[in-house]
Structure formats: structure tokens, C-alpha cells
Amino acid sequence: MSQVCVVLASVSPSLAGWIQSPGFPRGYRPDLNEFWRRCAPPGHVLSLTLIHLDLEESNECENDGLKISEDGRFIANLCGKMTFDELQSSVNPSLRSSSGGCLSISFYSDYSNTERHAGFKAFYTTQDIDECWENSEVECSHFCHNYIGGYSCSCSPGYYLDPDEHTCRANCTENRYGAGVLTAPGSPGPYYENADCLYSLSVGEGDQIEIKFTGVFDVEKIGAHCIDYVKVKTDTETFGPFCGKDRPADIHTAAQHVQVIFHSDQGGANQGFSLQYGPKVMECSGKVTPHSTVSPAKQRHQVGERVTVRCEQGYAIAYKNDSFESTCQFNGKWSVIRNCEMVNCGPPELSELMAFTEKTGEMYNHKFSINCSTHYYQLVGNANFICDATGEWVAENGQIFSQLTAKCVPVCGMTKSSAGGRIFGGKSATLGQIPWQLLVKEPNRGGASLINDFWAITAAHVVVVKQRPLKFIGGMVDAQSRNQVEMETDKIIIHPGYDYTKSHYDNDIALVKMSSRVPLSENIMPVCLPERKSSGPVMEGMHGTVSGFGATSDRRQRSRYLQYGNVKEYSGHCFNTDLKVTENMFCAGDTDGQVDSCKGDSGGPLVIPMLEVHDTPYRLKGIVSWGPPACGDESYKAFLRDLIRVS
């Protein structure tokens, strides 16, 4: 639709006047600074016409000058002498404000003039502007009408003016009953622009509306996108949008009341559509509720027919049953309708040691992945889960997350650094070198080995006391360190076969549970337990490392610092003793008598391989239990438990 402008002939109520420099035309004084501001009313412009200009000439008018601007926008800076014709041709056309704007005029002179100059004189007036022709921002869909101080838009017959007072829209909202023919507004011929038509169709009770598109179907389409479109909408279903040149199939709406919606934009020359509508005996749609299937499955169902409705996979009814029955009613609606909602597995509850590495949501088919929150733990079990149709988070192998199929277990047998060493005749350990070593000072000094983040293992005779609870310390190599980690026992389990009243140390082993989780770090980490039972030599023919805070010489003075030394298993006669050496014991030491466990080392670890070897995790093969009275004698070897046989 082309734009047509209609000009209303009228005489503007002119606001006019004169502005001139002081003393014009006899000349102006030095050191002047005069200012004028004139404004135009809305819908008008202020025009300034200079009829005389005679000022001192200077570079960039720095001495005397006339400045004209509009709200900070520079328009002109004038000086020197110009004739009226020169002013009319080069200056006056630009001395014009915007609609409803104001012009600011400033005149100044310096302290002296070498000769007399007349000054300036100007005439100002306000003029109505024709927005329909002069204002490029004015856009009327159909007609533009100018009047003094403003403009208005109007529309062709068959259109109404939108509340924005610029856009014309097709007037095509109707209510219809029974049978008839419906065409695009403007038919025959190209349909109207800016159409948002709403046709409400109704038929009698017991009938449904049947729609058949006839004749030419031509609704604007670009590529796969509908620029203009036709929709058919009921209370429960929407057909369309339809566009292009392919005529839509017949529509059995299964509804007594239907809306036909037609939309067009501002351009195009398409022919539109034509459709016939009328009553047909009522039927129900083959879809009872979204995201469900019905049995028996049909496109349409007769009044009184009953179906079974089941939710699609991944959807469920907010009731205990997974299906329901519904009956087609006389009004074309189903008697029972329940919503099939997407399955929600809820937020997975992670242990304090776990963290998400990916999480897409909590609904059906959403996924999450987990890992342990620190590198001191490793994930055992499944790491990836998906929200299953059952409402459970399930791994690929079918295991359910809520059944604790995944857990974080401490990394064992790792050290901060690796080094060689010698306990009795041993060397001092560095921090983090034997991070599983624990120490109990009272009532009996002894050692223990951390085996996870709650449990430790020690000799039974170290913890067979009435005092409860006991306190262990770890994460240090100096027994007097202020940075040690303190652990309080919650439970002590002594081997049921241990009897401290008898003169032997059979089954001298105990488990100790701490009252809270041990904070693992590079200085305090568990040691690994043996992977299999020993069928031959307990230490598997390897050298191992024994460690503790026990005596470091025959003077039996307890060591302040953690000592360690490398030993080997002794397969022959250990030493002469009346104590029974059982099958739960083995003997280890150094053939030269230079490295040995001693008093105060009881309960401490013997690990393989020795500390010089760090290709594999360190594993606990025994705990210091008992030995001969003297430490470091070449014929006397310390006895330790074979954990596999005792456990």
C-alpha cells in the first residue's frame, strides 16, 4: 500500500521578531557578550534570517563573532562582512531549528577595534512543518494528514488504525455459526496487509466443525518459514500453521467451537485461501492427552467409545496407576483426562567426597557424571548416570545410583616423595614419606597404620587398656609438631583370638575406628592392604620397610622423630624364646643386626616394597608385635603379623 499525504491549507500563527547587535547600525562597543534564545512550539521550526553582517574579521572569529547553535549542536560561527545575497545563498538556509527546537544566538566583541563596524541584524520567525513530506521518521501505513503543529494517519475502508496511531490493520474479526465459506480479507485478489484475523466458528451441540480448504491456496512463504499463515485452533489442539501453495488436508476438529486465525505482514501480493466449514456428527480426537498413546488407536473415536491411555516412555501420571481409561463424550471431549508429566529423577544426593563433572538437568534422559572431589580419593563404580523412565538415576550396566553403586575410596600406598633409609639403626623420615604412620603416646607408646579415612590397624597389646577413647596423631614426623593431625578413637575391635593374659602374642592385632573422617592430604594417606593371601614367603621375597617412633638404641630412649629402616624376611630359626611362635607370625630384620624394630614400635607398619622402590603402591604386610629383649642383635629378629592370615 503506497503512502499518500494530504496537505491541509492553513496559515501558521507566526511568532516573529528582530535580533541585532547593540548600537546597530552605528557600530558596537568593545568587550560585549550578548545572548539570545528563541524557541519554536511543537510541530514548528524556528528560522533565522541574517539581513546584515559587518563584524571585525579575525582568524576563526576569535576577536568579534556571532555564534549560533541548537542545544549544544554547533550551526555557525560568523565574522567579517557579507552582503545579503551572500548570506541568503550560503548562511541563512542552515539557520533552522528542529521541530519544537530552540536556537541560541551569542554575540561577542574584544577590547578594541581598529575601525568601526556596523554589527549584525537578523529576523526570526516560526513556521509549521509538513511532517508528511519533511519528516523521514513519519510512517503512516495508508494516509498521512498534516495540520498546524502536527500530523495524523488514517486507513482505507476495511482497515482500522492500530493503537500505535500509525499502522493500519485489516478489520476481519467475526463470529459465525453453522455452515459457510471463509476467505482471506481482500478476496478476490491479493489479501490485506497487516491482517490479524480471528474467526470464531460454532455449531450445535452433538456436532463438530469440519473444515475443507477449496480452490487456490496461496499464503506467503520464504524457504521453510511462514511469513503469513492460517491456523485452526480448538480447546485442545492446534492445526497448522499452513502457508505456501499446498492446500491443507481436510480437518475434523472434534470440537463444537473453533477459531480460524489468519496473519499477514506489511507486504506481498499472494491470493490467500478459501475454506468451507460446517457441522458433522461429533467425534473425539485420537489424542486424549499430550505425551500419551491410546488403545485402540484411531484418528477419531465415536461418542461413547472407551479407550485406555498410557503415557509415552519418559512420562508418567501423577497417580499410582501408569494408565487410565477415558470415554468419548457428546461434546467431543474425553471424560477423564490426566496429564502425562515428564519423569523427574530429582537431584542426585552426592556424598561429601563426590563432585559433579557434568550435569544437564534432572528430567528424563538428562545425564550427570561424577568424580571424587580431591585427588586423594578414587572413584570405584560407575561415573555416568542417566535419568531413566523409572524415575531412577541408572548407569549403563543397569545399576541404580541410589543403591550406592559408586563411592570414593582413599588412594592408598602413595607417598609425597621417595627415598632410601634405615627405627633401631634407621634414618629419620621426611614429611610425607610414610604418610600412613600413626602414633599413640598414652598409655602405651606404639604405632599404627592408617588403612582408609576412618580405620587404622595396630597391635592388640598397644590398645588393650581400660582408658577410652585413645588419641592417635599423624601427618607429622616430629612427635612434638604443632601441625600434627589429632584423631580420637570411636571404636576398637580386638581380634577375638587374642588373650593378653597368656604368655604368647598370637592374634596380636586390632582395628581402630576414628570418631570422624581423617582429613587426607599429602602428609596423611592410607597404606594399601595385601591383595592376596601369602602362600609362600610373607614378604614375597622382597625387602620391606619398617617404621616407628620407638627406641633407636639399647638405651631404650623413645625417638622424637619418625625412623624407618629396610628389612627382609627371616625364614630360619629366629631366636631362643619360651614364647610360642605361631603360624600367624613371621620373622624379619637385618642379618647384620643394624636395623631392627624396638620397644615403642609395636603396632607400626612393615610395608613392601621398601621405600627405595616406588613403582607400585606400598602394601602393608605386617605389624610390629614382639621380639627379643635386646634390639639390634644379629641373632634376634622382630616378629610381625602376617595380616592375611590373621584378618
User: Could you give the CA distance from residue 419 to residue 477 in angstroms, rounded to a whole number?
Assistant: 15
Continuous segment of H or E residues that includes residue 645: helix 643-646
Radius of gyration from C-alpha coordinates of the chain: 49
User: Could you give the CA distance from residue 307 to residue 296 in angstroms, rounded to a whole number?
Assistant: 6
- Helical residues (DSSP H) of 99-229, grouped into ranges: 131-134
C-beta separation of 467 from 488 below 8 A? no
Cα separations in angstroms, 191 against 63, 91, 194, 243, 266: 68, 51, 10, 13, 11
| Cis-peptide, bond into residue 296, ω within 30° of zero | yes
C-beta separation of 507 from 623 below 8 A? no
User: Could you give the CA distance from residue 615 to residue 150 in angstroms, rounded to a whole number?
Assistant: 90
Q: Indicate which residue of 21, 47, 547, 602 is catalytic.
A: 602
With b for 16 or more beta-carbon neighbours within 10 A and e for fewer, the 224-262 pattern comes to: eebbbbbebbbebeebebbbbeebbeebbbbbbbbebbb
Continuous segment of H or E residues that includes residue 644: helix 643-646
Coil, strand or helix: which one is 340? strand
Other Cβ atoms closer than 10 A to 335: 12
461 is catalytic: yes
602 is catalytic: yes
How is residue 561 annotated by DSSP?
A: B
Q: Can you read off the three cell numbers belonging to residue 399?
A: 545399576
Other Cβ atoms closer than 10 A to 533: 11
| Cis-peptide, bond into residue 410, ω within 30° of zero | no
C-beta separation of 363 from 388 below 8 A? no
Q: Can you read off the three cell numbers belonging to residue 591?
A: 642379618
Annotated binding site for Ca(2+): 56, 64, 110, 112, 128, 131, 146-147, 150, 220, 228, 265
Q: Indicate which residue of 508, 590, 596, 642 is catalytic.
A: 508
- Beta strand 73-78 with 221-222 is unpaired
- Beta strand 168-170 with 150-154 is unpaired
C-beta separation of 566 from 426 below 8 A? no
What beta strand segments (E) does 289-424 contain? 292-295, 300-302, 306-311, 315-317, 323-327, 340-342, 354-359, 367-372, 377-380, 384-387, 393-394, 407-410
User: Could you give the CA distance from residue 411 to residue 408 in angstroms, rounded to a whole number?
Assistant: 9
Other Cβ atoms closer than 10 A to 513: 12
Task: Name the strands in the sheet holding 251-252, side by side, starting at the edge strand that comes first in the sequence.
Answer: 180-183, 274-281, 207-213, 251-252
User: Could you give the CA distance from residue 225 to residue 243 in angstroms, rounded to a whole number?
Assistant: 9
Annotated binding site: 56, 64, 110, 112, 128, 131, 146-147, 150, 220, 228, 265
Q: Indicate which residue of 44, 52, 263, 461 is catalytic.
A: 461
The residues that are catalytic are 461, 508, 602
